[in-house]
Chains A and B, each alone.
Chain A
Amino acid sequence: MFEQMKEIIRNYVQVADEDIHEDSRFVEDLGFNSYEFMCLVGEVEDVFDIEVDEREAAKIKTVQEALHYIATLTEE
């Protein structure tokens, strides 16, 4: 899932694959703005076949938190 997430991230920001870590923060480290993050949310929903609650998405600050959130939805 982490590799899939890295691929999705690189669709929206210019960052090298090796510079994306599980503890990378979307805004401060990867340079996401709100629009790009929402685009990422949309792609994550399609790729993992989940529906993301925006209020929960707004709490996600790191790649690890995103992966954890996806895992909770896909395990249901």
Chain B
Amino acid sequence: MIYACSIPHGMGEHSAAYTLLSWVLYEKYRLTGNLLLARTPQGKPFLRNYPGILFNISHCAGLVACAVSHTEVGVDVEKIRLYPPRMPRRILAPSEQEQLLKSENREDLFFRFWTLKESYGKALGVGIGYPFREIHFQLGPVPTCNVAGFSFAQTVLRSGFILSACQRGTEQAQTMVFLRHLPEQTGGISYEYEPTAKPERLN
């Protein structure tokens, strides 16, 4: 399940992302109180005491998204905008570069590809640490790619944002929900990092 919403004016993006996560964890799993966060060797945060609940967050230009699942999950949100001319050959497979050249809306298409690739890397827990050009996507109502064992979902949000998500498994469970506003903190959830885990920059 993926949730997205706008960030209240004056609130930090990172703080908003964890507020959204807290709401999901309470509403869906009834988690409360202080939650211990750990990090994988690659730096991906996870709930130390709830190995069956996996999450990922993303934020960009006033929008925040959160994905929660029982399996590895990645989410990325980006605002559609101009991209550096070198970026297509940097991150797109040849077939994707061909599609881009033929497109009448290249910025839209570029960020569709980028967010899918980023969501895949985040699901794996490696972020950008994999060969981006070796995964190639076919866009459509349900994006597919040449890598087996993962499912994808994508939607274009209002005001020109693209939201993509990736989940390990073939189960098509990628329902996306856009909330009208950031829910209030519920469940009294707070986060604490394990001593060995480096804290993220919290706004």
Distance of A41 Cα from B76 Cα, bound (Å): 19
Q: Are A34 and B118 in contact (CB under 8 A)?
A: yes
B128–A58 touching, CB < 8 Å: yes
> Across the interface, do A42 and B201 meet the contact criterion of CB distance under 8 Å?
no
Contacts of B131 in A (CB 8 A): 54-55
Within the assembled complex, what's the spacing in Å between the Cα atoms of A19 and B147? Answer: 41
Of A39, A42, A46, A54, which is in contact with the most chain B CB atoms at under 10 Å from its CB? A54
Chain A count of residues within 8 A CB distance of the other chain: 18
CA of A38 to CA of B114, assembled, Å? 10
Across the A-B interface, how many residue pairs have beta carbons closer than 8 Å?
A: 47
CA distance in complex: A35, B87 (Å): 10
CB of B201 within 8 A of CB of A34, answer no
Interchain CA distance A42-B130 in the complex, whole Å = 15
Nearest to B198 among chain A residues (CB) is A28
* B132, CB-defined interface residue at 8 Å: yes
Contacting pair A54 B201 (CB below 8 A): no
Q: Which one of B83, B84, B129 lies within 8 Å of A54 (CB-CB)?
A: B129
Nearest A residue (CB) for B42: A58
In chain B between 75 and 102, which residues have their CB closer than 8 angstroms to a CB of chain A? 76, 78, 83-84, 86-87, 90-91
Please tell me if B53 contacts chain A, counting CB pairs below 8 Å. Answer: no
A28, A39, A46, A58: the one within 8 Å of B127 (CB): A58
Q: Is the CB of B87 within 8 A of A42?
A: yes
User: When A27-B201, A28-B201, A33-B60 are in contact, do A38 and B87 touch as well, CB less than 8 Å?
Assistant: yes
Q: Which single residue of chain B is at the shortest CB-CB distance from A34?
A: B128
- Encode B166-203 as 1/0 by CB contact (under 8 A) with A: 00000000000000000000000000000000000100
- Nearest chain B residue, comparing its CB with the CB of A11: B84
Contact A46 B86 (CB under 8 A): yes
With A27-B201, A35-B118, A54-B131 in contact, do A41 and B90 touch (Cβ < 8 Å)?
yes
18 chain-A/chain-B pairs, Cβ below 8 angstroms: A35-B114, A37-B128, A38-B90, A38-B91, A38-B132, A39-B84, A41-B90, A42-B87, A43-B86, A45-B90, A46-B86, A54-B128, A54-B132, A57-B128, A57-B129, A58-B127, A58-B128, A59-B129
Given A38-B128, A58-B126, 5 other A-B residues pairs in contact with their CB atoms under 8 A: A33-B60, A34-B76, A37-B128, A46-B86, A58-B127
